[in-house]
Amino acid sequence: MPKAARTTQLTATRLVKLIGKLFAAEARSADWLPERRLRLRSRYSARVLGAIETLLREQLPIVVPGSLLGKALQYLSGQWPKLVRYVENGSWPISNNLCENAIRPFVVGRNYRYFAIMEGLP
């Protein structure tokens, strides 16, 4: 395997493991009061986010921008200010998956109705 491919694979693996640590911390603290979860986030999650940011800043200039990892790092860099906000409040979720799953039936239905109208279906 070429060195560039190994580096890309190692970087991606390290990022996934670090993100896994964030979600594991959230799973452990799911039943905690927001104040206690905020302490965990400020002590632990903020350090993990710092490691992710360091890796991001190191790899962003050297990864090919058009590669899958390059695109992922570009996206992460652009979304960084929004990503780190959850550590400021113990009540905020780490992800918006619950919200997205809640609205998905409406969006899927809307897309079906749009295509049905375009195709002349009832």
Which residue has better confidence, 122 or 71? 71
- pLDDT, tens digit, for every residue of 7-48? 789 999 999 999 999 999 999 999 999 999 999 999 999 999
Domain ranges of the chain: 3-90, 92-122
Query: pTM to 2 decimals?
Result: 0.79
- pLDDT, tens digit, for every residue of 41-67? 999 999 999 999 999 999 999 999 999
- pLDDT, tens digit, for every residue of 85-113? 999 999 999 998 888 888 777 766 655 55
Q: Which residue has the tokens 């899927």?
A: 108
3-state class (DSSP) for residue 120: coil
